[in-house]
């Protein structure tokens, strides 16, 4: 048996304090990238990811990509490239 070793357990707070993006941050950055690429707008228009209005706009855009006018999931040939699955994942964890 080994002698008394020292172990550290670091949680998400430690990485956030070290300015390493959290999973939550990365999800919102991905939503931002989708928004900018789909809408072809400047990233500056949705730069403040901490702003609730920006978050609502991004989430509304994601919801619009995955739902038809009646609220049903859209699954068509143009969704077979995996975008649909990634967007649904984003919706499920937000």
Query: E strands within the chain?
Result: none
Tokens of 85: 């699955």
Asked whether residue 54 is assigned to any structural domain, the reply reads yes
Please tell me whether the overall predicted TM-score, pTM, comes out greater than 0.75 for this model: no
SS3 state of residue 93: helix
pLDDT in tens, 5-50: 777 777 767 777 778 888 888 889 999 999 999 899 999 999 999 9
Asked whether residue 12 is assigned to any structural domain, the reply reads no
Predicted pLDDT of residue 83: 62
- Given a cut of 70, whether residue 51 has pLDDT beyond it is yes
Predicted pLDDT of residue 14: 75
- Given a cut of 90, whether residue 80 has pLDDT beyond it is no
Q: Which domain holds residue 79?
A: 21-93
Predicted pLDDT of residue 79: 46
| Domains of the chain: total | 1
Asked whether residue 14 is assigned to any structural domain, the reply reads no
Asked whether residue 16 is assigned to any structural domain, the reply reads no
């Amino acid at each position: 048996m080994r002698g008394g070793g020292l172990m550290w357990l670091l949680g998400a707070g430690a990485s956030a304090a070290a300015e390493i993006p959290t999973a939550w941050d990365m999800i919102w950055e991905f939503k931002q990238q989708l928004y900018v690429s789909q809408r072809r707008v400047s990233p500056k228009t949705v730069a403040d990811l901490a702003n609730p209005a920006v978050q609502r706009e991004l989430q509304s855009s994601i919801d619009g990509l995955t739902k038809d006018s009646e609220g049903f999931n859209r699954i068509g040939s143009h969704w077979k490239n995996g975008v649909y699955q990634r967007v649904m994942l984003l919706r499920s964890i937000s």
